[in-house]
Amino acid sequence: MPVHALDFIVKYKWGSVFMKQFLKDQKITYNLMSFTGYKALILFNLLTEGPKSYNEICDYFMNHPYLREKISIDTLRVYINSLKRVGCEVKRFRGEDKESRYVILSHPFELKITPEQMQSIIKIYKSLVKNIDIKELLSLENFFEKIYSYIKNDEFLSNIRKVSMLNGIDIHLLTNLIGCCDKKDQIVITYNSPNSGKKNIELIADKIEINNGKIYLYGIGFEYMQYGSFLVSRIKQINEIKVDKTIPAGINELTVTYELECNPDKFEPSEDEKLIKKEENKVIVEITSSNEFLLRQKFLELGPAGKILAPENFKEDFITCLKDMKAGYYCG
C-alpha cells in the first residue's frame, strides 16, 4: 500500500476520535482540522457502496450521527480532490434518469486474493445460503457486495455472481415483492411463463421462499383460484398493487394426513400444517393446501420418510404417479 494511502487512513481514523471528543467537550481545537479528512473518508465509504448523486451525498451527511450538516458542491469537490490525491479514481457520470452521480472506479485500498482464497470464499457463500430465509439472503448479499468493492478481480466477481441465488433477479423488484407479501397485497404481475410466454397474473401475495436453490413467490392466483408458486426470476414487474382487495371465492382446499419418520421433539410444522400426534419415532401431521401439485411435490421431497394416510383418493393418485415415474425408467 502506498505511503500516502496509509497516511490517509491514519489521519482519518484520528479524525473520528477528534470528532467524538468535540461532541463530548463542545470545544474546538486545532485537531479539528482533521475533520476534512474524516469527511473524505465518510465519502469514500459511501461511494464504495455504489454511485451516488449530490443530493444523496447531502442527505447522508445530514443524517450522519457525527456530522449533521449540508455540504455545498464546492465542499464536495474538496473531499473528492482529497480522495484523488491518495490514489482514488473518482468520476462523475450522467445516468438514464439524467441525474449526475459520482462513482469510485478504483482505489489504493483494494484487496488482493489468491485463487485458493477465491475458492474458499465461494465455498463459504454456498454453505451459508443453504439454510437461510430470503431476508437473510439479501443481508448476506449486501455484505458480499461490500467485499466486492474492495476486490478488483474480474474472475472472482464472475464466479461468485454465477453461484449467487440472486443472479438474474432484479433486487429492487424482489424487495418490493417482499413488502407486498408482508402486507398480503393483491397484485398484478407480468410473468414470463415457460409454456405461454409473458402474461399478466393477479394474485394475493403470501410469502417468498427459497426452494432447491431457487426463489419463489407464493400466493393465491385468481386465474385457477388456487395457491401456487411463481419463480421470481420469471417475474418481470409489478403492474399494480390494488387498494381494495378481492376475497377469492371458490377455492377448493385439500387436507392431507400423513406420517413422517423423524425425531418428534425436533419436528416443527409449517404455517399450513397441524401436528396431530407424536409417537416414538414419528409424527402424524395434517397439511392443507389448494394446490395439489405443491402437495405432490412435497411428498416426493419427503421420500420414504413420508407416508400419506388420507384421503384415500389423493393417496391412490400419488401411488399411480410413482408407478408411472418408475415405468418411465424401465421402458424399452
pLDDT, average across residues 143-152: 76
Domain of 309?
254-330
Residue 306 in domain: yes
Same domain, 100 and 36: yes
Q: Can you read off the three cell numbers belonging to residue 330?
A: 424401465
Distance (Å, whole) CA 228 – CA 290: 8
Domain-ending residue, one of 106, 130, 152: 106
Residue 248 in domain: no
What is the spatial order of strands in the sheet that 186-193 belongs to? 226-231, 214-221, 197-211, 186-193, 235-242
pTM of the model: 0.58
Q: What is the pLDDT of residue 331?
A: 61
Domain count, the chain: 4
Contact by Cβ (8 Å): 308, 320: no
Give 93's strand partners: 101
pLDDT tier at 32, thresholds 50, 70, 90: very low
At 252-268, the pLDDT tens digits run 778 999 999 999 999 99
% of residues, the chain, pLDDT over 70: 87
Query: In the predicted model, is pLDDT for residue 161 greater than 90?
Result: no
pLDDT tier at 205, thresholds 50, 70, 90: very high
Query: DSSP characters for 262-328?
Result: S-GGG----TTEEEEEE-SSEEEEEEEES-HHHHHHHHHHHGGGEEEEE-HHHHHHHHHHHHHHHHH
pLDDT, average across residues 144-173: 82
Residue 71 in domain: yes
Distance (Å, whole) CA 156 – CA 79: 31
Same domain, 90 and 20: yes
Query: What does the mean pLDDT of the chain come to?
Result: 83
Same domain, 33 and 89: yes
Same domain, 289 and 312: yes
At 283-305, the pLDDT tens digits run 999 999 877 878 888 899 899 99
% of residues, the chain, pLDDT over 90: 38
| Three-state secondary structure readout of 118-156 | HHHHHHHHHHHHHHCCHHHHHHHHHHHHHHHCCECCHHH
Residue 275 in domain: yes
SS3 168: coil
Supply the CATH number for residue 319's domain: 3.30.70
Residue 157 in domain: yes
